[in-house]
Structure 1
Amino acid sequence: MTEGLKIENVYTAYDKADVLEGVSLEVRPGKITCLLGSNGVGKTTLIRSILGLTVPRDGRITFNGEDITGLSTHKVIAKGISCIPEGRKVFPKLTVEENLRLGAYQVTSEAVIRERIEEAYEIFPRLKERHVQLAGTMSGGEQAMLSIGRGLMSSPHLLLVDEPSLGLSPLFVKENFSIIERINERGVTIFLVEQNMRQTLAISDYGYVLSKGAVVAEGDAKALSENDEVQQAYFG
């Protein structure tokens, strides 16, 4: 039985100052779990801690029952965790297809890589139309699609999505959230880290609210969206 991702009492510091202060949360298998919070509260630091980019000074991170705290990033990815970073971060001078291939850098079989590229094109027909286009010449929304497609190339069990609405038009934000739902329907567990409270809770099963490096509220997504204290903690 898969146990998903568990963060237990994690403290992560930069220059001896704690950014995360005893964060505990759980990302349940097969679900969309969200972490809400405004800028600078520690959301991206938590993703960095999960990926082994910034090692927690205390606490424990487990995935499917296995301790991955402080594991090197390529080993974390090999466990079945993939990340779509904040701000998309495509390789601008590479084509769409070359960007996708980089997402499968740990895969040795060309047949498997080809199959996963075709799956990405099935989810994003626009990427197939532009497979030879340089990523840097695409719109922000198209680059967001490419970033998600690249994140799926490792065939992850868990997808960490950091601020997918950042810098996008409302139309592309809506499209992106719809795509995240479709990926979840394919069996991929999603941990969605966002500022956009309303749309995030609309597609999530369960949510947490982070403020000043600590979880200040949690609950069923619908209950959170109707909770006055959450609104106050979040917007206040």
Structure 2
Amino acid sequence: MTNHEANSLVIEGVSTAYDQANVLENVSLTAASGKITCLLGSNGSGKTTLIRSILGLTPPNRGSIRFGGVDLAGLPTHRVIAAGIACIPEGRRVFAKFTVEENLRIGAYQETSDAAVAQRLAHVYATFPRLSERRDQLAGTMSGGEQAMVSIGRGLMRAPKLLLIDEPSLGLAPILVRENFNIIRRINQQGITVFLVEQNVHQTLAISDYGYVLSKGRVVAAGEPSELGQTRQVHEAYFG
């Protein structure tokens, strides 16, 4: 297996149901190694269900989800994460009563080497100098933008090969959204594959290499950002 395949997420023919009702129907897409791939769609399109299916929280009834040559479909969540996948959940979800550093260390709970944890902490603090200054501050007392940094930093503490990012713009002021997306681009430039699930079309397409549009549980469009933004499917998915 090439390194390119090792860090690519390949989803083929995935269908996922809640209470016998299909939420995802025959979804196929690829998040290519070393790239930023986005999945656009309005609320209720099935985006979060797809993330849950990848993570093993809501296993698909049909189809395969491959990463590093391993089919993740049906694996428990801790095995999916151990394969080199980290998820930044929507809404940030920091541990409010823990300090910044305690929050970050939770991200490395599967790592047994103290030296590796220290190295990852140093890397996160270099990426987010503001967190370094506030490492002893309770995460719950920080601004929304700072909590977003804590959440992304916690994901980086896993030293992931693939980062799943769910709605990073949710609830943030426009200036913080721009800052967040710049951070995502910088993380990708460090060699981490990014699968970005978002509603914010313009900011997302501006940093993505390739994108898909999900509507009512189906992929209705795919392509380069420049062409995807012009498609009828994008306008219908959001405004129709």
Shorter chain as normaliser: what TM range?
over 0.9
Which residue does 1:173 correspond to in 2? Answer: 177
Question: Following superposition of structure 1 onto structure 2, how do residues 29-44 of structure 1 map, counting pairs within 5 Å?
Answer: 29-44=33-48
Question: Following superposition of structure 1 onto structure 2, how do residues 190-201 of structure 1 map, counting pairs within 5 Å?
Answer: 190-201=194-205
Which residue does 2:161 correspond to in 1? Answer: 157
Deviation at 1:229, TM superposition (A): 4.1
1:111 corresponds to which letter in structure 2? A
Picking from 74, 81, 86, the partner of 1:77 is 81
CA distance in 1, matches of 2:239, 2:197: 16
The alignment-based identity, stated in percent, is: 68
CA distance in 1, matches of 2:77, 2:227: 35
RMSD of aligned residue pairs (Cα, Å): 0.9
TM-score by length of 2: 0.96
The residue matched to 1:172 in structure 2 has which SS? helix
Which residue does 1:147 correspond to in 2? Answer: 151
Question: Following superposition of structure 1 onto structure 2, how do residues 62-73 of structure 1 map, counting pairs within 5 Å?
Answer: 62-73=66-77
The residue matched to 1:53 in structure 2 has which SS? coil
| Residue pair 1:9, 1:60 contacting (<8 A) in 2 also | yes
2:107 equivalent to 1:122: no
CA distance in 2, matches of 1:225, 1:16: 34
Unaligned runs of 5+ in 2: none
CA distance in 1, matches of 2:237, 2:172: 25
TM-score by length of 1: 0.98
| Residue pair 1:209, 1:234 contacting (<8 A) in 2 also | no
The 4+ residue runs of structure 1 with deviation greater than 2 A are 226-235
Picking from 44, 49, 54, the partner of 2:53 is 49
Which residue does 2:17 correspond to in 1? Answer: 13
**Number of matched pairs:** 236
| Residue pair 1:8, 1:23 contacting (<8 A) in 2 also | yes
The residue matched to 1:25 in structure 2 has which SS? strand
| Residue pair 2:88, 2:155 contacting (<8 A) in 1 also | yes
CA distance in 1, matches of 2:233, 2:192: 31
Picking from 222, 231, 235, the partner of 1:231 is 235
Deviation at 1:96, TM superposition (A): 0.2
